[in-house]
Amino acid sequence: MSELRVAVIGVGKMGAFHVDSLAHRVRGARVTVVSDADADRASEVAAAVGARVETDPLAAVAADDVDAVVLASPGSAHEKQVLACLEAGRPVLCEKPLTMDEPSALAVVRAEAATGRRLVQVGFMRRFDPEYAALRELVVSGEIGEALMLHCVHRNPAVPDTFTSVFAMADSVVHEVDCTRFLLGEEITAVTALKPRATGSSPEGNADPMLVLFETGSGRLVDVESFVRTGVAYEVRTELVAERGQATIGLDQNLVLRSAGRWGGSIAPDFVVRFGQAYDTQMQAFVDAAAQGTVTGPGAWDGYAAVAVCAAGVEAVITGRRVEVRLGERP
């Protein structure tokens, strides 16, 4: 096939990043169609890469000049749009969440299974980050024995007041859900959320930071500090504790400068900087597989499991109780 023709639906911060990635950093693809509820924004982003604008996202999915789709639209639009991609037989890279609730996410898993092909990839880009990949390899190799625990830190410098603890569970902690499943290779079976004293900039009645605890099928424990108003920078770290050693990723030690009687480095300001390379590597993998009519990255089941764990997490935040996760049957 010549260049893969891609429709990008939703061109806010993430979608615009993907358009730029497809146009300038990824090989074998070009953006032919851009769709966004904001017509001016769509025109601006499309013009920059010589794409056309399609107002109706479902028409963009089915268009003749489209081979594959990238969805960076609001989560509430994903279900319909992913199902349309399945209907049209288009490989799709869908940003999280796959859908807004467990039944609809499981319905997507089943709809994909009915096509007999792998067509849905979910945008869990950390799996394409070299540090996460190395940690997964370490776990698989057994070099430091069985993995026992993970300690995860997930900090954003600032978020709007609409970013509640419930939202943080679905939007931020969801990445730790996927990393836990990816690194340990098993499902999360229960979630507990603790709410320590809140930071002064957290809106009244909102829990920030939060401590979230995952239990896994084999009895491992994973703790996650979610703190989205640190006022510092974007910090994502994971420590693996195993039988014969520990390993840490996310130490931001790229360049250590010594000057004027001090030493130190810098921390990425946001996730697009910290995971920029991972997003591009994820897109290249998507394009390469989509050119063969399929996907190879984290799939519909991973998206469904994340939705199910986050739903339990939201219930845990609201009720203060430990909530079990019961996954449906995998087709």
Q: Applying CB under 6 A, does 171 fall inside the site for ligand ISE?
A: yes
Cβ distance to ligand ISE smaller for residue 67 or 225: 225
Q: Applying CB under 6 A, does 238 fall inside the site for ligand ISE?
A: no
Q: Applying CB under 6 A, does 73 fall inside the site for ligand ISE?
A: no
Contact residue for ligand ISE among 78, 175, 181, 229 (CB under 6 A): 175
Give least dist CB 230 to ligand ISE, A. Answer: 11
Q: Applying CB under 6 A, does 121 fall inside the site for ligand ISE?
A: no
Cβ distance to ligand ISE smaller for residue 54 or 280: 280
Q: How far apart are CA 150 and CA 241, in angstroms?
A: 6
Q: Applying CB under 6 A, does 214 fall inside the site for ligand ISE?
A: no
Q: Which stretch binds ligand ISE (CB under 6 A): 53-61, 80-88, 130-138, 170-178?
A: 170-178
Q: Applying CB under 6 A, does 165 fall inside the site for ligand ISE?
A: no
CB atoms under 10 Å from CB of 327, counted, come to 15
- Near ligand ISE in 23-52, by CB under 6 A: none
Query: Which DSSP string corresponds to 122-155?
Result: E--GGGGSHHHHHHHHHHHHTTT-SEEEEEEEEE
Distance between alpha carbon 236 and the CA centroid of its chain, in Å? 13
Cβ distance to ligand ISE smaller for residue 10 or 46: 10
What does R_g of the chain's alpha carbons equal in angstroms? 20
Q: Applying CB under 6 A, does 302 fall inside the site for ligand ISE?
A: no
Which residue type occupies 284?
Answer: Q
Give least dist CB 310 to ligand ISE, A. Answer: 12
Give least dist CB 236 to ligand ISE, A. Answer: 6
Q: Applying CB under 6 A, does 227 fall inside the site for ligand ISE?
A: no
Contact residue for ligand ISE among 21, 172, 206, 281 (CB under 6 A): 172
Q: Which stretch binds ligand ISE (CB under 6 A): 34-42, 171-179, 280-288, 292-300?
A: 171-179
CB atoms under 10 Å from CB of 260, counted, come to 6
Contact residue for ligand ISE among 128, 271, 279, 304 (CB under 6 A): 271
Q: How far apart are CA 193 and CA 320, in angstroms?
A: 7
Give least dist CB 14 to ligand ISE, A. Answer: 8
The angle formed by the CA atoms of residues 296, 149 and 264, to the nearest 5 degrees, is 85
Token look-up 């693996």 returns 240
Point out the residue whose Cβ comes nearest to ligand ISE: 172
Q: Is the CA virtual torsion 89, 95, 100, 103 positive or negative? A: positive
Annotate 282-311 with b (16+ C-beta within 10 A) or e (fewer): bbbbbbbbbbeeebebbbbbbbbbbbbbbb
Q: How far apart are CA 222 and CA 240, in angstroms?
A: 9
Q: How far apart are CA 30 and CA 25, in angstroms?
A: 11
Give least dist CB 175 to ligand ISE, A. Answer: 5
End-to-end C-alpha distance for the chain, whole angstroms: 31
Q: Applying CB under 6 A, does 225 fall inside the site for ligand ISE?
A: no
Give least dist CB 173 to ligand ISE, A. Answer: 8
Contact residue for ligand ISE among 21, 156, 192, 282 (CB under 6 A): 156
Q: Which stretch binds ligand ISE (CB under 6 A): 133-141, 168-176, 184-192, 300-308?
A: 168-176
Q: How far apart are CA 233 and CA 202, in angstroms?
A: 16
Footprint on this chain of ligand ISE (rule: CB under 6 A): 156, 171-172, 175, 271
